[in-house]
Amino acid sequence: MVLSDGKGTPLVAMTESATPNEVKLIEPMLERLRIPKVGRGRPKTKWHRLIYDKGADSDPLRMRLRTKGTKLICPHRSNRVKPPMQDGRELRRYRRRWKIERTISWIQDFRRLVVRYDHEISMFNAYLQLACAMIALRRL
C-alpha cells in the first residue's frame, strides 16, 4: 500500500500479507505518517481528504476517519444496500486518483521490486523504502 500527497510523491509505503482486508490496513498506514509539528504540538498539516478505490467502502471506517478529521472519498460498491453516505460533489475529487496510480507505476519502474528477487521481507521493505526515497528526491 502506498500513501502519496496530491502531487504523487510517496509519503508512506507498507507491505502486508494478502489475507487481511484492505479496510483494516488503511488506519495503520495513516498512523505511520509523520507530520512535522509546529508550535504547541499542533500538526503542520492535516489530512482532510483520503481518496481510495471501492475496496474501502465501509461505513464504520468512514465514521472512524471522520472522528479523526479525515473524509474518505471513494465510490460505493455496486452491491451496496445502505443509502449512500456521499453525494456526487465529493466524488468529483475521485478523478484525481490517477496520481496514486502514477506513483505505483513509478515504484514498478524498479525491476527488483516487481520481480521480487529478495526472499527476505525485510530486504524487500528496505528496497521499497529506497525506491520511494528516490522517487521523492526526483520530485524535488
The domains of the chain are located at 2-139
Instruction: Please check whether residue 107 is in contact with residue 13, taking contact to mean a CB–CB distance below 8 angstroms.
Output: yes
Q: At 40, which helix (H) or strand (E)?
A: none
State the helix-helix crossing angle for 59-67 and 23-32, rounded to 10 degrees.
20
pTM given for the model = 0.78
- Residues 6 or more apart whose CB falls under 8 angstroms from that of 98 comprise none
* Per-residue pLDDT at 18: 82
pLDDT mean over 103-120: 89
Q: In this model, does residue 71 exceed pLDDT 60?
A: yes
Which DSSP symbol is given to 22?
T
Instruction: Name beta bridge partners: 72.
Output: 50
Residue 37's pLDDT is what?
A: 57
